[in-house]
Structure 1
C-alpha cells in the first residue's frame, strides 16, 4: 500500500473509531466519511462494508487479546488468567459501542469480514477456560462458545445506561458462576 493510501486509511480508522465510540456501531458511514473530510466512495474503497470497517478497528484489539491470553497462560494461575482475559474482552467490546451484536453474528457467519478475527479471539479465551477447567478451578459444563456469549452479554449490559452502574457487580456474579470454589480467588476485584 502506498504511503498516502496508508495515511488515508489510518485517518479513516481514527475517525471511525471516534464516531463508533460516540454514536455506536450503527453510525452512518456517510457521517464517518464527512467527519474524515472524504467522500463516501473513498471510505467504501478502503472498507467496502461496515463489517470490513469494524474488522479493521477491532482486529488490533483482538490480536492484543490473543497475545495477552498467550502471556497469561504462561504466567498466571488458571483462574486469574481467565478472569483477567475476560475483563479485557468485556472492556474491548464496550469500547466500540454496539459492535458486540456484529461480533456475535460474525462468529456464525463465515462470510463475515469479522469472522476470522472473532473466531481467533474466542479461541484464545476458550484455551484459558480449558486450562482453568483442567486445573479444577472452572466449571466443566461450559465451553468457549458459552464463555464468548457470557462475555458478550456483559459487554452489552455495560452499554445499557440502566445497567452500566451495575456492570462491575454483574461481572463478578458471572465470574463466580464460571469459577469453582477453588478458583474463586480470581473473582475478587
Structure 2
C-alpha cells in the first residue's frame, strides 16, 4: 500500500511517503507560521526524491487534530487539493494517537499532552491492549495549573510544545515527543479500511475547542 502523509497540526510541517509499512521519504522541519508556504515546497522535494506519482497512491493521510487551528486547516486543504484532483481517498488520522503510537508498545496507561496556546493543553490517555492502541479517555482541554496538580509520576506521560511550563515541573519522567508525517502514514496504512473518509468533501479538522481571539 502506498500512502502520502501530511502533518501540520503543530509548528512541525512535514510530508512523507509510506510504502508497505516503511517510510520511503520524509521532508519535515519546524516552521512556525510558515506551513502554507513550505508544504508545497516539501511536496515537490518529496516527489523529486522518491519518484512517487499521485496516480500510484492508495490514499493521502492527514493529521486531523487536535492542534493548531491554522495548521490543521492548511494541511487538510492541501490534502483535499491533491486527493480531489486525482480521485484519491483521504484518511484522517487522530493527531494525539499518532504521537503515542510513535513511542511503540508501553505497559500501562499512557498520557499525551499537546500544547494548544498560552497555558492550555490537549490531553488524552491511551493503553495498548491485544496489540492495539486504544484511547481510554476523551480528549480534554485543560489549563496547565490543573494538569500540574493532577500529574501522576507513575504514568508514562509525553508532551509536545509548552516547554517553559512543562520544564517548570522538573520531572524527568515527563518526556518530549515530536509529531511526524512518518507516523501519520504508518497509522493510516494500519487503519486504512476503518478510517478512510466516506465523505471527504465535508471533512473538517478536529479542533476540539474553539479558539478565542482576545
Q: Which has the higher helix share?
A: 1
**TM-score with structure 1 setting the length:** 0.30
Q: Report the TM-score when normalising by structure 2.
A: 0.28
Return the index of the structure with the highest Cα Rg. Answer: 1
Between 1 and 2, higher relative CO (CA 8 Å, sep ≥ 6) is seen in 2
Considering fraction of residues, name the structure with more strand: 2
